[in-house]
Amino acid sequence: MARQFGGSPLYDYEIRRRRLPLAGSAAVLIAVALLYAQMLALGGDSAALAACAAAAAAVLAPVVLLLMRPAESILVRALPCVGLLLLAMLWAALPATGLAGSAVPRPAPDLLPLELAKFVGFVACVVIGVAIGSGVGATRRFCDLFVVFGLAYVLLSLWMLQENPGAVWGIARADWRPRFSGTMFNANVAACVFAVIAIVAWGRLRVLLKPRSRARTTLHISYTVVVAFAAAMATAACAMTGSRFVLVVLMAATLISLAGAARDLLRSHNRNPLIPMLALGVAVVALLLIFGEPVFTRFRTASTDLDLRMFAIPHFAGLATTSPWFGYGLGAFEAAHLASLDPQSAPVVWSFGAAHNALVEAAIEGGWPYVALISLAVAYVLWRVARAARRGPGDAITTSFVTALAAILLCAMIDIALSFPAVAAMSATMLGLVLGRAERTLLTVRDQPA
């Protein structure tokens, strides 16, 4: 007899979606392909590419919703996050209507439509993530495809480096950007992408290494090897970019995954975690020794670069206070920055095309209320995820996505990761994914009979 959920609106939904149907698999494939297409296209780092990516996300979001058919109760519980993001967009657009007063400076009003389109694409990616996270088995399928596509992306990036180290897709790198950067022109952003792939792969590997009640099949063993290879290659690629901070974040996340895997093995009471954990640890150290020369040599200049960041971020924070309510307009950072240079700051930060801190740059463009609304949306998601973690069973895959999202946010605090539309889309999709997964967990736990 079927287990009842006490008249819950989730009852039919759960029974109908025990396994991810073909339509759900198609939705997951669309979401993953959308993310990697942007990464392949130089990270979407141009007006035309960003506009195309935003339009694609806006068009595909309803398609994913139709394919996934998430429960209405889950969509309702995701509304606070989406609503706060839409309020932030409206706040940023308010000065263009004239309602904010004529005193608000607008040094680049022509960029506002493009930036609003990019924001719509960001919200659409959140919706796509919520739809996928709400489906039974969809989060795992998304993780599998993300890792497999990620392995292909890393191998393609390494092949491109081998074929023509001075160019990306035939476009020559600038002389002052010689570092390995995958399919993009910024090595630190590429390192962030490789780190996210590695973190998700380590999380998937943790699940695959869990003790099983039945014998492992050849397919299971083969896929475990593929995931381990993906995690190793993404870690190596991250080290090859020479990005110090991202590598430190990745190593911390890797240690968390290895500690979680060791705890899983200890709880099984039938396997000693020491040998497999030591083997994985030695493998990680060997990868760093083999591929880590670019990043190790850059640690010598860490203090100089840190001093530059410590000067730049407070300087830009001061610029944000000159127009605290509505900022200077979305997309107007560079114009506002160049107009604010003085004899003291010009020799140091004149070449900066971004604030190297996502919160400060958002405040310069949209004002501090704009930052507050987006921060509240992220805080709401984290609150729901924490609540689901307390009430439901542990989920290593969801944990890996939360860790990857935290890694992106950390990188965006001292660099320009979120300035690239591809990374912003990835973070938005993962934000929606963990929210949808958390809401499904909360509804399932609440409606189970005592």
pLDDT digits over 228-278, tens only? 999 999 999 999 999 999 999 999 998 888 888 777 777 765 556 666 667
Amino acid at 223: Y
* pLDDT attached to residue 116: 95
Separation CA 406–CA 199 (nearest Å): 11
391 or 277, higher pLDDT: 391
* pLDDT attached to residue 388: 93
Asked if 139 contacts 132 with a C-beta cutoff of 8 angstroms, the reply is yes
Tell whether the model's pLDDT for residue 176 goes beyond 80: no
Structure tokens at 284: 């990680």
> Which tens digits make up the pLDDT trace of 408-443?
999 999 999 999 999 999 999 999 999 999 999 998
Residues constituting the chain: 450
Asked if 290 contacts 325 with a C-beta cutoff of 8 angstroms, the reply is no
* pLDDT attached to residue 148: 97
172 SS3 class: strand
pTM given for the model: 0.91
Largest CA distance in the chain: 78
- Beta-bridge partner residues of 172: 167
**What would the mean pLDDT of 3-24 be, rounded to a whole number?**
50
* pLDDT attached to residue 9: 41
Separation CA 425–CA 304 (nearest Å): 32
**What would the mean pLDDT of 73-94 be, rounded to a whole number?**
95
Tell whether the model's pLDDT for residue 6 goes beyond 50: no
Calculate ∠ Cα 429-435-436, nearest 5°. 90
**What would the mean pLDDT of 122-136 be, rounded to a whole number?**
96
> Which tens digits make up the pLDDT trace of 326-366?
999 999 999 999 988 988 889 889 888 899 999 999 999 99
* pLDDT attached to residue 51: 95
Report the interhelical angle of 72-93 vs 358-366 (nearest 10°). 60
Asked if 211 contacts 273 with a C-beta cutoff of 8 angstroms, the reply is no
Amino acid at 192: C
Asked if 423 contacts 417 with a C-beta cutoff of 8 angstroms, the reply is yes
Q: Which of 450, 444, 418 is nearest to 431 (CA)?
A: 418
Residue entry with tokens 């984290």:
382
**Secondary element (H or E) of residue 16:** helix 10-16
**What would the mean pLDDT of 116-136 be, rounded to a whole number?**
96
Calculate ∠ Cα 23-401-235, nearest 5°. 115
* pLDDT attached to residue 42: 92
* pLDDT attached to residue 397: 92
Complete DSSP assignment for 277-342: HHHHHHHHHHHHHHH-HHHHHHGGGHHHHHHHHHHHHHHHHHHHTTSTTTTT-TT-HHHHHHHH--
310 or 131, higher pLDDT: 131
Confidence of residue 100 (pLDDT cuts 50, 70, 90): low
Tell whether the model's pLDDT for residue 99 goes beyond 90: no
**What would the mean pLDDT of 277-294 be, rounded to a whole number?**
76
Asked if 44 contacts 50 with a C-beta cutoff of 8 angstroms, the reply is yes
Average pLDDT, the chain: 87
Confidence of residue 4 (pLDDT cuts 50, 70, 90): very low
* pLDDT attached to residue 41: 95
* pLDDT attached to residue 268: 67
> Which tens digits make up the pLDDT trace of 28-53?
999 999 999 999 999 999 999 999 99
Separation CA 200–CA 230 (nearest Å): 10
